[in-house]
Structure formats: C-alpha cells, structure tokens
Chain A
C-alpha cells in the first residue's frame, strides 16, 4: 500500500520536525529535515541542571519516533492552536447548566431505589445464610465489625458492580496513549486476573494537561541527571536536614512562575492542603469554603480547628450574604468578632470544569478584608495564556491573592504541591507548617522534572515548545467541548476549561459508557456519588496537549455512537451559543469545529 506508506512517512517526518522545533512553521520544518546533523547548540545551563535543549533528538529511528508520538502526538496542523483571552479583570459569567428531561431524572431516581432495595435484601439474607462472605460486617467473638454495613453499603452495592471501570492498572507513560494491562473477572469484579496482554488506549483520563508525562525529552533527561547527582531522596524533613540547593532553586522558580515572592513545596498535593490550614487558622477563625472544594481542603480545614462555613458553588451572591452574616454576627454564642476569615476556593474545579470567579472574589476582598486562598491544583499550567493559572487567565495581579496553592502532579507530569505567598508568610510557615517540619520532602528527581517543565513553559529551554503545549491544550479543550455540545450532550463548566464533564445521570450508564469507550480503545473516567451529587453521575474528560485533532475526532465519533446507543444526547440547546441547535451530524461537527472553536462568544 504505497499511499499508506507515504502517509506514514510524512507523519514521521512531521513528528521529527515537531520534536526538533516544535513551534516552527513549515519553512523551518523543511530546512531542518534537509540538514539533520546541524551543529548542536551548547546545552543551556540555567542553574543546577544541564538541559539537553532537545537538539540531541536529531537521528531518531522510526521506532523511537513512533514511541514518542505515542506519548505526545505531532500537531496535525498549525491552525490547531488557541490563545485564551478573557477580558482583563472582567467577572466570569456562569456557564449554563442544562437540566435533563424529567424522564431521565425519574429513571435515575428509580435506578438508585432499585439498587438500594436489592442491596438491603441481599444484605439481610446474606448475613444470615452466607456468613463466611459477610464475616467483616457482623460481630465476631467480641469484636465489632471492622466496617459497618451502613458505611460501606454504597461501595459494596453500587461501586462493586462497576469495579472493572476503576483502578485499571497501566504500564508505561500515561501520555497521549495509556497502556492498560488487560484483565478479566470471573466473580463479578470481586477479583481480577491478568490476561498478559495490553491495550493502548487514547488517554482522556490522566491529569496530563500539558503532556509532560513523557519518558523522553528534556524533563525525563533532567530527572535522570538529578537521580545521578542527588539520588532519589533527601532522607529527612525539610526543616531538619532535607533541604538541598535543588529544593531552594525549584521553589524560587515556582514562586517566579506564579508571581509570588516565595514558595514552599511538599511531596504530596493532597498533603499540601492537609498541612496548610492548621498553620494558617485556628480556633476563633472562620474558613469560608466553596461547597465543592476538594477533599484535601476539607481534611485540612477540619484539622485546623477553625469554624467552617460553605457557600453554594461559585455563587457570589450567596457568598456575600454569608460573609455579611458572619462578620456581623461574629463567633457563635459569644458574638466575639472572628480573628480572621480565610476564603478557600479552587481555581478550576476538578469535577465540574468550572473556574472560580476570581475578579469578584478579589473585589469583595477589598471590602470585607478576608484572606484569599486559591487552590490551583488543576488550573496551574492548564489555564491562562501563559499557563500561570487563574490570575493569568483573568489578568489579575497574583499579589491580590494571599496564598496560591497548587499541585505539580497535573500539568507538569510530576508530583507534590506548593504554597506560594509573600516571603514573610512562607518564612513563618517554615516553623509552623507540619508538612515542612515532619513530612518527607519532595524527591529530587521530581524537582528535576518540575524545573524542566517550568523552564519549557517559560521558554527558557526548547524555545517555542512551551507555547505550543499551552496553545494546543486551549484549542483541544475548546474543540472537544464545542463538538460534544453540538452532538447534543450536556456538559458542565467553562469553555476554556480542559476538564469536560459529560452528564450521564443514570448509574447504569456509567459502566456502559466506560466499557463502550474501552471497546473503542479510549480510556475515560466515570464518577458519581460521593464525588458528585447523587443525580449527576458523569464521565470526566481531561483534555491534554498531547492529543491532536485526529485523536479528538476519533473521540467525537466514539461519543457520537455511544451517545445514540445509551440515549445520552438530551441537550435542549440552551447552553449553545449563536442560537445553534444541538444534535448535529458528527461529520458536520468535525468539518466546522476548527474555525468555530476559535471564535469568541458574543
């Protein structure tokens, strides 16, 4: 098949050009491919690590190019880029959250009712007739059951039925494709056995927004160099003897990136929040938290001993009402004024795909004098024209936010989290933050990965690549979301958000959707209660810069088929712009997508 071969060859050439000079136009592409052994520029040294500038990738074998394109796709066309431009300082308009037809709500309720009734009937008889299977739920010679049947009811009776959709083991890099270890179950998901084969699936599940999950390239090279020079650990808490020069350098870089004076880093993102609040607030203080904040914030807030109040998700009217009430009423019973009020929101909500309304929060902050803590776990790197999070997106000075928290797991393909603030605050936290004083510090190779990723985004190494990653992510997110809306699905969240929740509602549709996608070799994440409200079970797409338009079209076609199969296209069209009607033909969606994804909402 000669035509196929040429197509493949051109893909390789494209991939190669991509790796060499990611942001270059077609003219430079030709020049580099004609002179593959160009003089290598000296590796830039911007601190402790020596970077490989990407020039060493000149003579790659076709296998190597294929391997790399499995982790990060070559861009199909240079027009598949987008720079988000939110009008500076303007408040965010709420996205339209469509309601499904009543019929689907009703069937969802009935589904749960059936599940609950069946579950209780099975529990009732099981505990009496199948004692060996229920041993952990009943009293055993003087020991109370290790877990109560009520607490674990939902897990045993609903989640257990779709366990094949969760914790699918993988091997290799979770990049553009994720390689799943195939497994089968013979006992309704109680146990699994591996078949020994693997499946490469398009990856819509990993938090790999900028596609830095790669085993080659400047990040992996930096990690390797750091392992050679620093080993895998610094073997002591930060405040004792676990601080190396690399920690200091990376923290300075993170601070510079987010626009704060100083930063401190922790080895786990969840633990960053868990440890942050006890050092900021205590008894007599108030935490005002968005009702959909992440579990780690709730954990940390509870540890702090402060009073916690929540407001409706992103509802700024409710937020102001609560603020006025709390400031005027003071502490419960004594009515003493609150010592301080800390408002905690997420930059980008991981289950909703919505962004916090930062302009309003910052404006209200001036009047009500609260402190603002923004958790940028998902937004850092993924949001804003320069990838610097929600402040960058809204054009707000990071100085307006007291504490910027974020994780390095997501956009940077690393792990851990950071807190960034004024130097005086960070210095004080070095004595007061339990994560800094007691916990193990970030592992040095992770620092290498972070440094390389950050310097790529800033453009200090491999010029143009960071820009390309950011712009491709923005394009991919908008293209996929628009496509799904036009096909007739109900999605949540803002247009520029790389998290796209697609509503399924009925619990039975979760495993159905996940399995159908797996059949089409696409890995997705389905979530429902307790991570979301009971009614709104959903599938959550995490878009990545490592995908190209062809991948997204594959995904749209798959969604189109499954949407018809499972009756998921319930959109009434209220969320569509320009007066469009939903339920387009998938070919029309793809044909018009590139242009329309890039146009602005009126």
Chain B
C-alpha cells in the first residue's frame, strides 16, 4: 500500500509540476523542441542534455580556474606558519669589494663637461668619454638660446604632451628635425634611451615578426621584449645571414595570415662603432616586404657630411627608412629623443607611444637647444670635416698599437678598442674588464679621460664584448688628439707589461 501511495504521490507531484511548467511563458517552445529532437532516440536527447549542462558549467565557472589547477588548499594555521618561515632574499645584494671599487671609480666632473675637464680628484684631463663630439656644449649661441627659452617658458613643461605639455618650442623643434632629415614628420620624446622602447611597441604587437641585428643596443632589445612580437636574430652586420633569416621567416609563415614585419638595426652601433650596410638592408627590405626601424641614436649629428646620419652617409633619401629613431642628447648636447617618418607613423605615436603619452614633455629649453644645434650643423658643416680629421689622426696612431684593435668603422668618431684574440691566448688575463679598467685608470693618471664600454650584462640578450670606448671631439686640436692617442697606446703597453705570459 505504501508503495502505491508513493506512486500516487509522485504522479501528482509530476502532474502539478508539469502544470506549473506549462504556465511559464515560452515553455511550449521548449517542450516542442524536446519532442522534435527526441525522435525516438533517447541517446540523442541525453547528448543534448549533456551539452546543455556543459554550457551551463562553462558559463558559471570562475574566470581563472585554470590558474588554480595546482592550488593547494591550506588551513589558516598552515598559511601563518609558511608566512612565518618565509625568508626573502635581500632586495639588492650588497656589493663586493671589486664592485664597490668600480662604483667609487665612476668619474665625477667638476663644472662643465667640455673637452677638457677637471675631475673631483683634482686632476685635469682631456675628455674622450663624452658625446660632445662637435664641442657644441658651452657654445655661446646655444647657451643664449637656452637661457632665453628658460626666461620664456620656465624649466619644465609640467605636463604630458597630450595635456597642455606641448609648447610652441616643441612644435618648432619637431619641424626642424623633419627639415634637417628631410622627412615629412617627427615626434620628440623626453628621453633618448626611452624613445625606441616606445616606438617599437607602438607598432609591433603580439604575432608580428621582428628581425633584428644581434648587436643592437639595450634600449632596442627592451622595446622588442615589451612588444611581445616574434623575434628572429641575424648575425651582426652579416647581410647573407639577414637574407637567410628573412627567407626562413618567409618559409615558416607561408600560408598564415599576413602580420607586420620589421627589420630593426642600428645605424652606428653603440657597442662597436661599426656602421650598418643600409643599401643592402633596404634592398632586402623591399624584396621581402619588411618595414625598417633604424636606430640612429649614435649616428645623427655624427655620421654624414652634415651630420644627417646614415642616410646621408650612403646618399639615400631618409624617406626610404620607415622609422628613424635618434637622440638629441648626443652631439646636440640637448636631451630627449625623436622618431622621424611619415605623417601617419608620427601621428600614431602621439596616441600610442607609451613614453610620449604617459610622460611629461621634454623641457622647452632642451628642445630649443637641439634646434639651435641643428642650425649650427647646417650652417657650418666644416665641423664634421674637422671631426673626421681628428678621428683619422687618432686612428692613425691607435691602429698601429700592439695587443688591441678597433672593430669600429675607420671614419667613426666613436671608437671601440678590443683585445686581440691572440693576446687573450698568450697572456694570463683572467678578467678582461679588470684589465681594461686598469688601462682607463692609467689613461686618467696621464691626463686622458676614456671609459670602458659599460653595460649591465644580466640585462643584455647576447654577451657584449669588453671594450674601451673612446669618443673623438673637435674641442681638442689635432695635436691634442694625437697626444691622447699616444697616451692610450702607452697605457695599454704599460698595463700589459704587468700581465704575465702563459707558458706553453
């Protein structure tokens, strides 16, 4: 009887539920759908029910559940214990003696960083470690212009360019840069080092392809890293290898949707002083349909008959390069960087260049300084002839040196000196940097300020060769430059004389 009662009860419940269900608006449609889909095949309905349940579960599931896959549930006490036990590493490891000595050896200049400077040690030295290659620092015309701009605009712009930070001087300097390089437009950033790290990610995104020289500077490496693009490296300045990589990319990505492709390289390499083969790169860029981003931070105002950089050096219109990135902080003795290119390239960066959008604008007087420097470069191109003469005079002596050679271009006023490979085999040099620092110290003691090429090894993608970095300036006469070269040469010999030979 109890069984019967139960059946009756179930029956009535089902009936009342179905009566309720029919009352719900739209229920007829659901019923009709279930009936039509049933088609005498319970498996089919079961499958649909499973699908429905899966969909419900999918939509209700927490967004990040995949990240919690290996989440271990712990009690409050356990968490407290773990918190108590956890000991972090120090925020920054304290320096050892060698590193501390390196910090203490960073030269401090008293007063202006001109061609001849006084160091905090009291020593007066010739300055061959400065980008003041054209001796425009302290130029009266530039100085007066800078003061005038401070007296009109104050020092800082007090806001990002997008919010009232764009001053008339900035607009003028951007025009001046465009005219100087003979390109349609340009945009100024507040720091040269930050410029290319903003330019690259403004265009290159995830899925795009960047083919880059393996010796590019750190700023470019960081720009590529932040862009999340696919990166392929080619051997430094090796055009055959570049073509090989381009061909390989072509094969690898055949049939896939077309994405943006960029070749990224430097004009004058900061880490080597050598010059990119622009004509060949342009040829390959057109052949494989790439866009070229050229970092001319070290070449604008340095290379070319009137300092217009690599395009002038090779006599190629600057408009052939899609984006030229340069620095106003090197020979122009101002500050900030720029990107020059087509109107669209520049306009896009004004809203997507991170370092432009989120940073305060460059101080007006630095923009004015750069303008004035460019006008001097245009009006007196003989300074570049003089720079070249000094460079050649220096190289004439240094190239005859024992133990070291220069990988730099013979006409580059940025000169790197590197130990000969044979020397490394025949002499007991445990730490190249230590050896080079001894040379630097010896040079300073003899009145010539040069530097090692300083890098942060842990940040570089590829190891950077240990070199001495020397920058020629027109602020010194040819005789003085020759004297400096002799000092460097003698310093290398002297330090080497203390290094024991390896006995085979």
Residue from the list A208, A224, A227, A439 in contact with B194, Cβ < 8 A:
A439
Q: Is B83 an interface residue (CB 8 A)?
A: yes
Which residues on the B side are within 8 Å of A342 (C-beta)?
91
Q: Which 4 A-B pairs have the closest CB atoms?
A: A439-B193, A270-B359, A268-B191, A241-B129
Do B348 and A147 touch (CB < 8 A)? Answer: yes
Q: Does chain B have a CB within 8 A of A427?
A: yes
| Closest CB in chain A relative to B329 CB, distance in Å | 4
Give bound CA distance, A166 to B350, whole Å.
11
**In this assembly, does B279 line the interface, its C-beta being within 8 Å of a C-beta of chain A?**
no
CB-defined interface of A242-273 with B at 8 Å, one 1/0 digit per residue? Answer: 11110010000000000000000011111100
How distant is the Cα of A443 from the Cα of B112 in the complex, in angstroms? 11
* Residues A420-476 near B (CB distance < 8 A): 424-425, 427-435, 437-440, 443, 445-446, 449
Q: Are B161 and A425 in contact (CB under 8 A)?
A: no
Name B222's contact: one of A172, A303, A430 (CB within 8 Å).
A303
User: What B residues does A269 contact at CB under 8 A?
Assistant: 359-360
A88 is an interface residue with CB less than 8 A from chain B: no
What class of interface size applies to chain A in its complex with B?
35 or more
Chain B residues within CB distance 8 Å of chain A: 67, 70-72, 74, 78-79, 82-83, 86-95, 99-100, 102-103, 106-114, 120, 127, 129-132, 137-138, 142-143, 146-147, 150-159, 161-168, 171, 190-194, 197, 203, 205, 208, 217-219, 222, 225-226, 258-261, 289, 291, 327, 329-330, 333-335, 344-345, 348, 350-352, 354-355, 357-360, 362-363, 365-366, 369, 449, 451, 454-456, 458-459, 469
Closest to A453 in B: B155
Given A369-B86, A413-B156: A227 and B108 within 8 A (CB)? Answer: no
**Does A367 make an interface contact (CB < 8 A)?**
yes
Distance (whole angstroms) from the CB of B402 to the closest CB of chain A: 26
> Does the CB pair B79–A439 fall under 8 Å?
no
Give the CA-CA distance A505 to B459 in the complex, in Å. 43
Q: Which listed residue (B67, B130, B258, B366) contacts A144, Cβ 8 A?
A: B258
Bound complex: CA of A234 vs CA of B365, how far in Å? 15
Task: Kindly state whether residue A230 has any CB partner on chain B within 8 Å.
Answer: yes
**Assembly CA distance A335 to B82 (angstroms):** 12
Contact pick for B289, options A143, A207, A430, CB 8 Å: A143
A345 → chain B closest CB, angstroms = 16
Please give, as numbers and ranges, the residues of chain B lying within 8 Å of A341 by CB-CB distance: 88
Q: In the complex, are the beta carbons of B218 and A296 less than 8 A apart?
A: no
Number of A-B contacts (CB under 8 A): 372
Smallest distance from the beta carbon of B463 to chain A beta carbons, Å? Answer: 16
Chain A to chain B contacts (Cβ below 8 Å), 15 pairs: A166-B162, A171-B153, A172-B167, A205-B163, A228-B143, A228-B147, A233-B329, A235-B131, A235-B333, A245-B111, A267-B329, A303-B222, A335-B70, A431-B95, A432-B456
Is A358 located at the chain interface by the 8 A CB criterion? Answer: no
Closest to A238 in B: B106
Interface hits, A6-46 → B, CB 8 Å: none
Q: Return A404 CB to nearest CB of chain B, in Å.
A: 13
Is A409 in contact with B158, judged by CB distance below 8 angstroms? yes
Contact for A299 among B107, B109, B155, B354, CB less than 8 A: B354
Tell me whether A220 is interfacial, beta carbon within 8 Å. Answer: yes
Using CB atoms, name the residue of chain A closest to B358: A295
A432 to B91, CA, bound (A): 13
- Partner among B74, B165, B354 whose Cβ is within 8 Å of the Cβ of A295: B354
Interface 1/0s, chain A 280-323, versus B by CB < 8 A? 10100000000000111001001100000000000000000000
Task: Verify if A175 is at the interface (C-beta below 8 Å from B).
Answer: yes
